[in-house]
Structure 1
């Protein structure tokens, strides 16, 4: 349904603009599809976590994840349904299970934060096979932004959050995201 709507919207844009290059239209359709898919997933997540009563942790985890993943990239599921299921699992781990865990020794949090940062420094940006990063300068730019947001959030989580539930939620978000960058095959 989302793909059909994206095709119709792209057709409308094509007929009402001066765009007629196939490559540009494919990029527009891909962008529209991506935005609609993300909007759909976010709405499902908000409804689900509101019902569960964990919306605050979901939003906290989502802000951290989106600000880092936007620049670091990461693996993509083949279908919207599998993406939705993996995303729900990710946020169940970070927003329901992690906040329930007891507070750990501070040095463990420092170690996990440092480990996550090292992985992001080495692995980011993780390219999307559908939309590969072709320019070296763009790759460097994305890497710098991914590292910067990772450092920012790690600093905030480790030094400004005293609530153990939010501390666990935040550090698990960065740790799980960085682990996705390790355990997936990188397309060159």
Structure 2
């Protein structure tokens, strides 16, 4: 199943730094970069103000780049409960922005993204940045790491989307593909 021209927004969620990217699926495994950046919120600001800034930024990106699907990193325990909670608040805002537009959201763990992009579920940030730079044919590595991670999430989804679509089609009632 080809999903050529699928526009994917990758989001590496964070309250202080949130990586945003948009890529477009090409032929086969080709992926074309469209945009990449990082939204920053001041650590000293109230949580509500920070979430509002994040919401405004992601809504602007969705308006500007019109993604058809969003890939977000799944929140996992990092040892610091307040960091996890702040990231979870950010994820809620990001998912709401997609939901308000009817854009499907897919969540991936860091190890799923690392495995898809580098072939190694334990790849370090340096390896991931090198791979994403090569895969997208970028002239220089995206910085900071949050930007590279957002691109990796989008690429991961581009490469997994055909399998996800086939699986969904096979599980739907009256599916002719599932009967083959």
Q: What is the TM-score with the length of structure 2 in the denominator?
A: 0.23
Q: Structure 1 or 2: larger helix share?
A: 1
Larger Rg: 1
Q: What is the TM-score with the length of structure 1 in the denominator?
A: 0.22
